[in-house]
Amino acid sequence: MDRRIYKLPFGKDKAPDWICPTCCNGVLRIMDNTFHFEERTLSKDAHSHEAWEPEWIEYVYSCLLRCSNDACGEIVANNGIGSVDWYSGYDNNETPVQEWDEIFSPRYFEPHLIIFKYPDETPPEIASEIDQSFSLFFSNPASASNHLRISLEHLLTFLKVKRQGTKKGKRFFLSLHRRINLIPIKFEGLKCMLLAVKWLGNAGSHAKKEITNDDVLDAYEIMDAVLREIFDNKSKKAKALAKKINKKKGPK
């Protein structure tokens, strides 16, 4: 996962190397004559303020992106916000100059980007929550983190970790923390990673500290590793092969 492409702003002439969400091979490129941006009304009104600075400028933008893979050619709608910042470069005489330049940050994609490619074997109820998380990543990191937490609940259910306990004859729902501690011994090595996803999901739900895109990317990296450990057939086959070799202490 190249975290930079999901964090850095970009110029109106070239988008980051966002991967096509349909074929997961091509790179999305801004289609000619589709990038449009305008300054917001409140931003325009602020120009009359005696302390006004260009940093106060706020834009909204929209554009269409096309997959660079000719066999795919998917079209993705994208919109977001913008501002201005110093741009350092050189003029025609190779003299260093600093100029104001428009920069932009995405808020929505349709279809949404696939920030990490989960295994094809991932159960649909888990995949659905991860996709919801991806769709909210740019606009609402807290909600994105919370959906990933929900996917973790579904993962534990898939692993047959019970959801309810009994106390004095009465049933009650187990907390996510307790459920993680009940994970089957076979997957006990994942407990540390599952707890990390839980803590970040909790932060997205009700923590005082605002959760950032970096925090959500941390959760994605961990969840990616967890899902590959559980569902990636290549990983399973390699482990099964290693087990046979270890048992024979040589060629199987």
Strands (E), the chain: 28-30, 36-39, 59-67, 75-90, 96-110, 164-167, 170-173
Confidence of residue 2 (pLDDT cuts 50, 70, 90): confident
Give the 3-state secondary structure of residue 126.
helix
> What is the per-residue pLDDT for 79?
97
Domain ranges of the chain: 1-114, 118-252
Tokens, residue 177: 């923390």
How far is residue 252's CA from residue 241's CA, in Å, rounded to a whole number?
Answer: 8
Tell me the two tokens of residue 209. 């500290």
Per-residue model confidence as pLDDT tens digits over 200-213:
888 766 656 788 99
pLDDT higher than threshold 70 for residue 214: yes
pLDDT value for 217:
95
d(CA 122, CA 231): 6
- Percent of all residues in the chain with a pLDDT value above 70, rounded to a whole number: 86
- Work out the average pLDDT over 180-209: 85
d(CA 22, CA 43): 36
Report pLDDT for 90: 62
Summarised one tens digit per residue, pLDDT across range 33-69 is 999 999 999 999 999 999 998 889 999 999 999 999 9
Q: How confident is the model at residue 224 (pLDDT cuts 50, 70, 90)?
A: very high
- pTM comes to 0.85
Q: List 37's β-bridge partners, or say none.
A: 61
Q: Transcribe 127-173 into DSSP letters.
A: HHHHHHHHHHTTT-HHHHHHHHHHHHHHHHHHTT--SEEEETTEEEE
User: In the predicted model, what is the mean pLDDT of the chain?
Assistant: 88
